[in-house]
Amino acid sequence: MRTRIALLTALALTLLLAGCTGGGSDADDDRITLRFQSLAWQDESVRANKELVREWNADHPDVQVEYVQGSWDSVHDQLLTSFEGGEAPDIIHDASDDLADFAYGGYLADLTDLLPERLKSDIPQRSWETTTFGDGVYGVPFLQEPRVLIANTGLLEKSGVRIPTPERPWTWPEFRQVTEQLSGDGRYGVAWPLKEPVSATLNLSLSAGGQLFHRGADGRVTVRFEEADQVVPRTIHDQANTDRSASSSTLGSGGSDTLPGFFAGKYAMVPLGFSYRQQIEQQAPEGFDWQVLPAPAGADGLTQGVSPQTLSIAEDSEHQKEAAEFIDFLLQPENMVRLALGDWMLPTGTQALKDPALRTAEHGWATGTALAAHLRSAPAQSVRGYPEWKDKVATPALQEYYSGAIGLDELRDRLEEDGNLVLARYQR
């Protein structure tokens, strides 16, 4: 009797559990859930990312993706905390210049053998260089943003200055002359928003042949502020302090801060990232006519450094293969175009760049795609200790130089002497 009661009790429990799970326990237990942390923030971009996640989930019932909203403002510290706490998302949206310490620290998976050949071959090698650290690849570069000149069309036409094109851009000396010509009557030829001056200065300096960071045969990196590195900062300094063709009040501003003055005709041009076009299109007063011009060219033409947006996989993820498959889906050419349009940026993929939607003259898309072939890895991509060098040395030194508080010699001393002391701690 006791045995019979025990068997009946066990049977009842089994049936109860089966009823609670609806008979789908095997399917539920086998289902994989991947966490995808996205840093998309513009409405169009967030919408595009969420739509693609829904499309994936509809077609992959056994591998579901959970969309997690992150923030560019805090991503580095947030990721570091999640890595150290073992709570990192499986798929990580970031920027290539933020990956070095995570890659060298063992927090990111090497994607070399995880990605399909289709994706590897579609993205040019120059873009893969932005996410290559040592012998491994630790992110897929998928969106990139050149810096361009956003110009007031009416003021340019009225002045009679030559309008630059990607085929015939302004040189840096010519750009300085043009901003002088556009200045007067309470107007400045250009407003440089340099609240974060380091990346803008280093990336634009590639056009003049600047490198700043030099890696020796022993693999150690040193800072040398040579003549080519000085072309861009000297131009900005002289515009603000000698020619008075650049507004000194915007040097500590962010890009968005300059837009009201730009719309009011206070500045003829503003150097901005390509994605700012969306904000300008949304906020410009009715009848305001603007256009996109290429940044000035130097000894190396229109070459410009970029730090593409990236997708990485956490080393601790238990489902790296499935995460790589989702990344491959997300970056199919037609999907990459959707992401690029949502962020008003350029895709890295060669097939996506051919899409007619990215080659129209409207909103300067054609100018941007013409610059894509000139984009290179930002100088600091693989430099360990770069974040500290940027925050503690380069940012204050450049800000003081641009404001006129220090001269070029002092700038060089601080970038090289103080900078190399910082970098040395990361290269022992």
200 CA to centre of own chain: 12
pLDDT band at 140 (very low <50, low <70, confident <90, very high): very high
Q: Do residues 179 and 270 touch, judged by C-beta distance below 8 A?
A: no
Q: What is the pLDDT of residue 28?
A: 55
Q: What is the pLDDT of residue 188?
A: 98
Q: What is the mean pLDDT of residues 380-390?
A: 85
pLDDT in tens, 72-107: 989 999 999 999 999 999 999 999 988 988 999 999
pLDDT band at 24 (very low <50, low <70, confident <90, very high): very low
Enter the DSSP assignment of 416. I
Among residues 87, 149, 81, 147, the alpha carbon closest in space to that of 292 is found at 149
C-alpha distance across the termini of the chain, in Å = 76
- Asked whether residue 4 carries a pLDDT value surpassing 80, the answer given is no
pLDDT in tens, 177-235: 999 999 999 999 999 999 999 999 999 999 999 999 998 888 899 999 999 999 999 99
Name all domains of the chain by residue range, CATH numbers in brackets.
Answer: 31-144+307-377 (3.40.190.10), 147-294+385-424 (3.40.190.10)
pLDDT band at 16 (very low <50, low <70, confident <90, very high): very low
pTM of the full structure: 0.88
Among residues 209, 213, 214, 204, the alpha carbon closest in space to that of 227 is found at 209
pLDDT in tens, 321-366: 999 999 999 999 999 999 999 999 999 999 999 999 999 999 999 9
